[in-house]
Amino acid sequence: MRNDDSPPPPESGSSVNPDRPWFTRRSTLVVGVAALAPAALAGWVLTQAFAGSGSDGVRSAPQPASHSALSPGQRDAKPGSTPSESASTSPSASTSSPAAAPAPAPAKGPLTGKTVVVDPGHNVGNFNHTDEIDQQVDIGTARKECDTTGTTTNAGYKEADFTLDVSRRLRTALEAQGAKVVLTHQADRPWGPCITERARIGNEAKADAVVSVHADGVSAGNRGFHVILPAKVKGGAADTAKIVAPSRELGERIAGNFARTTGSAPANYLGSGTGLVVRDDLGGLNLSTQPKVFIECGNMRDAKDAAQLTSPEWRQKAAQGIADGIVGFLGG
């Protein structure tokens, strides 16, 4: 049974009568809807484009995407990461990621533009290479062994371990003041270097100051530190005439600051209580063309001095005292 309001189906092969009222109304409606469809679609697109932000500026949560529709970087992202975070993990995102932050600029300070060479006395490997370090080298005024093992505390703490630790702390302190610091070695070689090479490193660096770090090994009861200065010597490759005066000033600065910072007294067994000793038999000094001193920070064979030398806190003070002396010498 057909409802009176529904249009009758057209007969096969016949044309639709344009005068029928119900068709006219329906045709007008269809045309109108067709005309409105593109506008509605455009409006929907605009609505979706702006749906990410509400009037209060809070972004609405995105709809979850299917796993297969995500990029490899998004699929591998950690839970809770944002799309931008996920994209940064994908290989393709690396081309558009921001450049890495530049390395921090070197510290500026009173030693800016200055070069300091720090020479950690001996090398722990020397104990296993006695044949190599016993070879004789020319120090200008004589011939001496290439290097020695250095001493130890009665408990076996090696001078070479002490000197390297203090030297690294000293480097840090000097770099904080703006200096360029060169270490003659960092126990990164089996033995040595020879005393001739140690001197050459300072010369080739055109160092403004060179300090060789040591600890003494004399009998118990002999306590305190001393700084060794170059004597005026000339012979062979040795000629210290130009460095004697500035080396003494460097040594005096270090001695004063070392005593004040560490609380250690000048040696009671040489130097007449001044903490300063002049020697002409050390190749590291004889062959240097740059201001240079040695510092013997204490006596490893004395129990009281050894207690200080084996203390990390005291070694930090020792490094700071030496650094302060160098700053006083080079920084005015």
Encode pLDDT of 128-163 as tens digits.
Answer: 999 999 999 999 999 999 999 999 999 999 999 999
Q: Which residues are marked as active site?
A: 296
- Which of 264, 251, 275, 267 lies closest to 329 in space, CA to CA? 251
Terminal C-alpha separation, the chain: 116
The torsion region of residue 11 among left (phi > 0), alpha (psi -120 to 50) and beta comes to beta
**C-beta separation of 250 from 326 below 8 A:** yes
Band of residue 108 on the pLDDT scale cut at 50, 70, 90: confident
Q: What percentage of the chain reaches a pLDDT higher than 90?
A: 67
* Residue 95: both structure tokens together: 């081309």
Q: Which residues contact 8 (CB under 8 A, 6 or more apart)?
A: 2
Task: Give yes or no for a contact between 133 and 145, defined as CB atoms under 8 angstroms apart.
Answer: yes
Neighbouring residues of 287: CB distance < 8 A, sequence distance ≥ 6? 139, 140, 195, 196, 199, 200, 203, 237, 238
Determine the average pLDDT of the residues in 201-211: 98
163 Cβ neighbours under 8 A, 6+ residues apart: 120, 121, 122, 150, 213, 214, 215
The domain ranges of the chain are 115-331
**Class of domain 115-331 as given by CATH:** alpha beta
**Percentage of the chain surpassing pLDDT 70?**
68
